[in-house]
Structure 1
Amino acid sequence: MKKVMLFFAGVFMIGIAAVSAQDSTRTQPATQPSVTEPTTPSQPSQSDQYIQKDYIMIKSNEVPSSLRTTLKGSEYTGWESGQVYRNKTNNGYLIRVGAGDDTKNYYFDRSGKRITDPGSGATKP
């Protein structure tokens, strides 16, 4: 009889410990995970949409010599570290120099002559 009572006392103590462990999580203040609102990027400019649609990125060493000659001008300093794109339809080129708000886009035809932004509708650079 003594063993049965000790058995039930042990089971009772284990039960209390288990319930206590479960309750301890409820007694702590519930913290809600911080939720950050997803930021919606600002609408890409017409120029950026044009880039995504018609251009593919190429390496600066793939730039033809006619365009390299044009890019020797001081206006295009740093183009080697910028991004170079080739137009899939007309073999024109886009050079992006800079970062963030200081990014400048330069457009060239397949012979290396500077042209206006094809997406802007302007006539001359």
Structure 2
Amino acid sequence: MLVVLAWVIGISCALAQSDTVRHDEKDITNPESKYNKELPRDIGPQRDSVRLEGNQIPRKLRRTLNSIDLYRGWEDEGVYLNKNTKLYMLYISTDSLTRKYGFDEQGKVVTFTSFIKP
């Protein structure tokens, strides 16, 4: 009887552990994050992407790119439309880092990846 009581108390204590995971935080992409140690071969524009020129780039997307310093130099890098996903892709390279952004037609960032160059 005493063994059963000890077992029940042990199980109760094990099940009563509090959850330490914080469920109130959102995943927010951080442009300063570095996810991979080396640049993958597929970082550049894909075969299913086409480079856009001038007025082919949606006005709201151009407004976003021009208004945020993070995207400075986007005109030199170019904007690509992925025909499959319908996302507008931007690749910005600095000395040691390449950042890949995906935008919707409204100019909102929907994907982000950052790679350290090998």
TM-score (norm 2): 0.50
Ranked by relative contact order (alpha carbons within 8 Å, sequence separation 6 or more), the top structure is 2
Higher strand share: 2
TM-score (norm 1): 0.48
Higher helix share: 1
Structure number with greater Rg is: 1
